[in-house]
Amino acid sequence: MKELSHILGGPKAWENAQITEEKCPKCDGGQAYFMQIQIRSADEPMTTFYRCANNYCAHRWRD
């Protein structure tokens, strides 16, 4: 996940991320920060990256 963190702007990038109602697959928390980035070709949908809003968990995943 180190490369992904660099692509997303590092740890500071999550400070300004929006929050949404998204269930964390690790702790079942109900909220997560998210960012959308175009990582594939322009005709493909954007990829959404999530970070659990529970600071004790902070699990990251993508959709």
Question: Looking at residue 14, what is its pLDDT?
Answer: 82
Strand order of the sheet with strand 31-37? 18-21, 31-37, 47-52, 60-62
Q: What is the pLDDT along the chain (63 residues), one digit of tens a residue?
A: 455 555 566 677 788 899 999 999 999 999 999 999 887 777 888 999 999 999 999 999 998
Q: Does residue 59 form part of some domain?
A: no
Q: Does residue 2 form part of some domain?
A: yes
> Could you give the CA distance from residue 57 to residue 5 in angstroms, rounded to a whole number?
16
Q: Does residue 12 form part of some domain?
A: yes
Q: Does residue 61 form part of some domain?
A: no
Record the pTM. 0.78
